[in-house]
Structure 1
């Protein structure tokens, strides 16, 4: 296994180069997971479009989205997305709050964010174990049924994304590990190690 996973590099095409160029423009480097998803650029585009559209016009903030992904990814055992979204959550809410979410402690979150984190973990760990009471907690926190559906779709798509990355050996980027706050790094004790 190398940093990008178990697969060989995809054949170069205009679409693979577009994905790489987008990463370089946004981050200054090509992410390991982009090299993996470059095997099917149209699938990557479609999945990310679907994730974006699932929460479009639902009133979910960037901070709430970071809570959803950090809680989902850590419950699922995905180090890559846990580091990425733990860092985003740290930027929005502080590194101790982010580290808490990654460890399953939501005390520093708002009531609405606690409901989101709890739901994301349940969906990621055992969706058949959810019940009406779990949905009611989201309603009580201010989310309507359309939002609850959208949130659930988003979390399920994140699980699918993480499943592909993890199964094919994508390791978190060295830059991601270097830029993550210390408390976030300390909370991510699972999944694949950061690239050298």
Structure 2
């Protein structure tokens, strides 16, 4: 197996092989991010555990998590997560909704979801510029302080994960050329390109 991004392939231990096997079982191929994180498979498992820990117990459902990831990834300029999660959002809410979150128009979102998407973009673009008024907007949309914290931690962790992948040159999986809906592909005009 050749390298991925800017790095060569590490020696594969049992944990990395298990991640690869899970990818093949779930998707039919090994994801590019799994190849990169084969350098530290325990760390990637911890990341995924943290994603769940900060979001699921605090009332963030699959659709809301997808909105947060798509909004922050597109604002951050990460094509990989935008394609993967944009495809998930399209499956859950429709292509128009996914395209709207990717482009920032937020077409088809509820008032609460629009507030969540705006917050995710602010955190991704410049967290030092958020204000009390931004948090008030979330509260006015019906989001509790507990969920505001959970959303913020979730978005920050997603940015950290994407930063490692992007900095080391990991391209989106080629499978998303056909797996992603056309509206999602058309909206992702940023970040790293597909590489065969």
- Per mean C-alpha deviation after superposition, the further-off stretch among 75-84 and 18-27 is 18-27
Contact map agreement 2:96 2:107 (CA 8 A) in 1: no
Partner residue, 1:179: 179
Partner residue, 2:57: 57
C-alpha root-mean-square deviation of aligned residues, in Å? 1.2
CA-CA distance at 1:3 after TM superposition = 7.7
Partner residue, 1:88: 88
Cα gap change, 1:154/1:68 in structure 2, threshold over 3 Å: closer, same or farther?
A: same
Contact map agreement 1:3 1:195 (CA 8 A) in 2: no
TM-score normalised by structure 1 residue count: 0.96
CA-CA distance at 1:138 after TM superposition = 1.0
CA-CA distance at 1:10 after TM superposition = 1.0
Q: For residues 62-141 of structure 1, what are the structure 2 equivalents within 5 Å?
A: 62-141=62-141
Offset from partner CA, 1:136-174 (integer Å, 9 cap, x none): 111111111111101100000000000001000110001
TM-score normalised by structure 2 residue count: 0.96
Offset from partner CA, 1:11-31 (integer Å, 9 cap, x none): 121111011111111111100
Partner residue, 1:168: 168
Contact map agreement 1:83 1:177 (CA 8 A) in 2: no
CA-CA distance at 1:4 after TM superposition = 2.4
Offset from partner CA, 1:99-122 (integer Å, 9 cap, x none): 111011113210011011000000
Offset from partner CA, 1:83-111 (integer Å, 9 cap, x none): 01111111111111111110111132100
Contact map agreement 2:90 2:96 (CA 8 A) in 1: yes
CA distance in 2, matches of 1:8, 1:107: 41
CA distance in 1, matches of 2:65, 2:153: 13
Structure 1: unaligned runs, 5 residues or longer: none
Contact map agreement 1:172 1:192 (CA 8 A) in 2: yes
CA-CA distance at 1:123 after TM superposition = 0.3
Partner residue, 1:36: 36
CA distance in 1, matches of 2:49, 2:138: 25
Contact map agreement 1:3 1:173 (CA 8 A) in 2: no
**Runs (4+) of structure 1 moved beyond 2 Å?**
none
